[in-house]
Amino acid sequence: LFGPFFQAHRKPEIGTQGLGRGLSIVTQLGELHDGSISVESEEGQGTMFRIRLPLAEPIRPTTP
């Protein structure tokens, strides 16, 4: 699901939209920031993607 070029539906009636790169890119960006992505899905109810990123201390400008 999170791999490059993954597409969930390959049915002719649905068609092919996109390149299947979105979740792969989001996963890589999240990992670069020490974060993670998870998915919860229930048939007939929907799918929820959760992206977690760690909080950082705010950067305060220094005065000379």
Check if the beta carbon of residue 52 is closer than 8 Å to that of residue 39.
no
Q: What is the pTM of this model?
A: 0.53
Res. 14: pLDDT tops 60: no
Check if the beta carbon of residue 15 is closer than 8 Å to that of residue 7.
no
What six digits make up the tokens of 19? 């390149």
- Cα(29)–Cα(16) distance, integer angstroms: 25
Q: Mind listing the pLDDT tens digit for each residue in 22-63? A: 788 888 888 899 998 898 989 889 889 899 999 888 788 887
Domain boundaries, the chain: 1-54
